[in-house]
Amino acid sequence: MQPKSKILVIDDEEVVLDSCTQVLAVGDCQVTTTNNGAHGLKLVGEIQPDLIFLDLKMPGLSGFEVLGRIREQFPLMVVIVITGYATVSSATEAMKKGAFDFLPKPFTPEELRLITQRGLEHSRLVQQAVALQREKEILRENFAAIVSHELKAPLGAIQQNLYALTEELAGQLSDDQKDRLTRLKTRLDDLLKLVHSWLRVFSVDINKLKETFQPVAVADVVAKAVDTVQPHALRKAIEIASSVADPLPRVNGDEGSLIEVLVNLLGNAVKYSFPNNTVRVHAEAQSPQVRISVTDTGVGVAKEDLPHLFQDFGRGQAQPAGVAGCGLGLAISRRIVEVHGGAVAVESEPGRGSTFTILLPAMPSAPEANTTPERKV
């Protein structure tokens, strides 16, 4: 047996409450009534009705206010407004504010039954859609967790043994053999990173980052990102020059993810630079935002590639020899920045280099002390 449909009627006229109860309580509906908006709001939370009838004109909290708050707290709730003065304008106003339909007073039992049926049907559909969406989420997350373990575990075991063998055989290997082991490890490392990137794109709901936003010092983000990329830069004899304005407003965000964005941009800059080039990272306030830019003098991006750069799997045509990548880094970066309410942009000239810019909303409060001392590499 299906559970009874729960209907809440909020109206200051006893007569309306009584007639609604009489008409609807027969059959499979459970009707709750109240004569004021504030109590009505409380009941919405308590009984989680499938359908709400709401009078627009009530003393105290007005119907419009109640409607506004219901939509705010329970965006999927199906609300039908009862309008006493049967004016089209207040009814349309209510519909604009999210009401599903309106019922002009006075109404016949037949009209009430009909509109109730329609409202409940709509409510069922909404609830089904939500349930399906949730099921999809769960499937996606489980899939990601399984894939993550099944793919990464064997790769990790292989890599771990390559590490161990390198140690155990130290002193016994020729330079060529050592070199091949190093290349094997690099290839595996790239593969592990690729699996990780895929999982980031397809499994993690990036909006969840918002739940743990904290004030972040941009100078720290820059310093940590530079630290991470530094070994790669050294290998290509590329200098990373960073300058961070002090003081600089903080940004509200997730430090780890912001570092990831900057590591992506700096990593690209190094990857597409020529040996002995300098990559510049600069952060400054550009009220009301904080602007972080990464500039390289490398291969640059062709004009026709620019629009696709921040899309999934989008990569420019100009690929220097030996550069590997999956084209997900910038797409992930864009998503992370957008979750922070910011934007990424790129300017580039083929053969001259590129500048990637991140704009993040600055926090209004006290400026950060520049916590990072000068770094020498």
Partner 1 sequence: MSEAKRLLMIDDDPDFVAGIKAILVKAKYEVDVAYNPKDGLQALKSKNYDLLLLDVMMGRGAEGIMIARKLGKDPKLRDLPVLIITGIREQMAFLFPGQAVHPHFVPVDELVEKPVEPKLLLEKVEALLKTAETRKAQSP
Cα dihedral angle (235, 241, 242, 246), rounded to 10 degrees?
A: 150
Q: Which residue has the tokens 């980031």?
A: 200
Name the residue nearer to partner 1 (CB basis): 200 or 250. Answer: 200
Site for partner 1 in 306-335 (CB under 8 A): none
Site for partner 1 in 136-165 (CB under 8 A): 144-145, 148-149, 152-154, 156-165
Name the residue nearer to partner 1 (CB basis): 93 or 312. Answer: 312
Name the residue nearer to partner 1 (CB basis): 11 or 254. Answer: 254
Told to check if 259 binds partner 1 by CB under 8 A, we report yes
Instruction: Compute the distance between CA of residue 119 and CA of residue 103 in angstroms, rounded to an integer.
Output: 11
Name the residue nearer to partner 1 (CB basis): 68 or 154. Answer: 154
Name the residue nearer to partner 1 (CB basis): 22 or 177. Answer: 177
The amino acid at 342: G
Stretch that binds partner 1, among 37-45, 250-258, 265-273, 290-298 (CB under 8 A): 250-258
String of contacts with partner 1 for each residue 204-233, x by CB under 8 A: x----x--x-----------x---x-----
Residue 346: CB minimum distance to partner 1, A:
25
CB–CB of 74/52 below 8 Å? no
CB–CB of 298/348 below 8 Å? no
User: Is 299 in a helix, a strand, or coil?
Assistant: coil
6 conformational bin, left if phi > 0, alpha if psi -120 to 50, beta if neither = beta
Told to check if 178 binds partner 1 by CB under 8 A, we report no
Name the residue nearer to partner 1 (CB basis): 112 or 259. Answer: 259
Told to check if 256 binds partner 1 by CB under 8 A, we report yes
Tokens representing 209 are 């980052």
- Residue 54: its H or E element: strand 51-55
Name the residue nearer to partner 1 (CB basis): 200 or 271. Answer: 200
Residue 188: CB minimum distance to partner 1, A:
8
Instruction: Compute the distance between CA of residue 103 and CA of residue 31 in angstroms, rounded to an integer.
Output: 17
Angle between helices 63-73 and 37-47 (to 10 degrees): 20
Instruction: Compute the distance between CA of residue 8 and CA of residue 24 in angstroms, rounded to an integer.
Output: 11
Name the residue nearer to partner 1 (CB basis): 166 or 293. Answer: 166
Number of residues that bind partner 1 (CB under 8 A): 36
Told to check if 46 binds partner 1 by CB under 8 A, we report no
String of contacts with partner 1 for each residue 93-132, x by CB under 8 A: ----------------------------------------
Q: Say which residues have a Cβ less than 8 Å from residue 277's Cβ, sequence separation at least 6.
A: 238, 239, 296, 297, 298
Cα dihedral angle (256, 261, 262, 266), rounded to 10 degrees?
A: 130
Our measurement of the distance from residue 192's CA atom to the centroid of its chain's CA atoms, rounded to an integer in Å, reads 24
Residue 242: strand pairing partners:
281
Told to check if 196 binds partner 1 by CB under 8 A, we report yes
Binding site for partner 1 (CB under 8 A): 144-145, 148-149, 152-154, 156-168, 192, 196, 199-200, 203-204, 209, 212, 224, 228, 254-257, 259-260
